[in-house]
Amino acid sequence: DTEGRIKAEDDCKGIENIICTIRNTLNIANHDRGKMENDIANLKLVKIKNDENKKILKDDKEKITSRVLEILNTIKTIRKLSNDDVSMVDELMGDRDVLNRSLVKIHYKGEKGSEEMRRIEMMKDGLQYEIDNIKREVNDNNSKIQTLIKQR
């Protein structure tokens, strides 16, 4: 009887050890399952964030494309204004050169041409005044152009 009781107690302790081992294994498995569920949730969040980032990048790309087109149109307008100003300055410079040649001819004609010379001198001063005004306009336009470029 005593031997049977000792053997039963030993068997009971062995079974208790096996039950403890099974419980530990179950706890570890539950912990691992929790970690896996957490990892899956994190992956879903990352995917959502990636989708949001893709949308943000697409929106930014569209904004940048729009700004580039706007800048190109501004540059085209600036070039047109610059070309118009340059051609006007060239035309006025040509007129001034013609007047200068006329002044030289009149100078050699003597007193008879002094009245004509004064008149041409006044015209030359008037043209020089116009040239200076246009140069100021060109400089103003260039300043506006630089301001537009800086703003863009």
Task: For the chain, 152 residues long, give each residue's pLDDT as a single digit of tens.
Answer: 678 778 888 888 888 888 888 889 899 988 988 898 888 888 887 777 777 878 887 888 888 888 888 888 888 887 787 777 667 777 777 888 888 888 777 767 766 666 777 788 888 888 888 888 888 988 888 888 888 888 77
Helix axes 2-109, 114-151, angle to 10 degrees: 180
Q: What is the pLDDT of residue 18?
A: 87
State the pLDDT at residue 111. Answer: 62
What are the structure tokens assigned to 74, written together?
């501004």
| Res 79: pLDDT | 76
Please tell me the predicted confidence (pLDDT) of residue 125.
87
The answer to whether 127 touches 99, Cβ cutoff 8 Å, is: yes
pLDDT score, position 112 = 64
Q: Check residue 1 and give its pLDDT.
A: 67
Q: Is the pTM of this model over 0.75?
A: no
Q: With b meaning 16 or more CB within 10 Å and e meaning fewer, what string describes 117-133?
A: beebeeebeebeeebee
